[in-house]
Amino acid sequence: MAYSEPLQILWPQQTSGVPAESQVETAALLGMVPIPCDIEVLAWGAIVTEDFVVHTADPILTIGYCNDVGDTALDTNLQSLTLSSSAVATLKSGDGSKEAQTAIAASTDLDAGDVILAAPQGFPLHVDGGKFFGWELTTASGSAGGAIVPFAIVRVNGGVDGRQTNVWTATVKQTVAA
């Protein structure tokens, strides 16, 4: 199903609204965004904010959703992305005119300002309203050196659908006390 709403970019935020930067050395839930209505994930990945170093383990970033705001890990994984080089690495950069032309040679090829995109197979990914969309570093590098800000480019399915059984609508206008 193709949604007609404009594209939006989501990212984990600190309480101040600033994007939350995450080190790749420790596995953790990196952030969640409440999803009041259905969305389609059209693309996702991470912006490198600190140069990577050679790691003993390749960090793996996963997107998915949680059913509860208090969750400490994703309940459902939708797709994963290896953020470094390994024997099976498939990260490739463009050559200025074509995409995905030059294979990554080493983890140290990932520098601040680089963008890592997930493979487009399987897009769009659907997430139902009433969930908490999130990013999790499911495998950590185990050593310092490298930081990211994950993101997702999504399209929203209009507004919240009051016909759904999990949507409760106030039937009387309420006023704010002075």
What domains appear along the chain, each with residue ranges and CATH number? 7-156 (2.60.120)
Q: Coil, strand, or helix at residue 109?
A: helix
pLDDT of residue 155: 92
Q: What is the CA radius of gyration of the chain?
A: 18
3-state SS, residue 100 = coil
- What pLDDT was estimated at residue 53? 81
41-86 residue pLDDT tens: 999 999 999 888 877 778 889 999 999 988 889 999 999 998 876 6
CA proximity to 152, closest of 125, 130, 131, 129: 125
Q: How far apart are CA 153 and CA 52, in angstroms?
A: 24
62 Rama class: left (phi>0) / alpha (psi -120 to 50) / beta: beta
CA atoms within a 13 Å half-sphere pointing along the CA-CB vector of 159: 3
Q: Which residues of the chain have pLDDT under 70?
A: 1-4, 85-89, 107-108
Peptide bond into 12 cis (omega under 30): no
pLDDT of 87 = 44
With 0-12 CB in 10 A as exposed, 13-18 as middle and 19+ as buried, what is 73?
Answer: middle
Kindly state the tokens that stand for 5: 């709403």
Measured at the CA of 133, the angle between CA 129 and CA 136, to 5 degrees, comes to 160
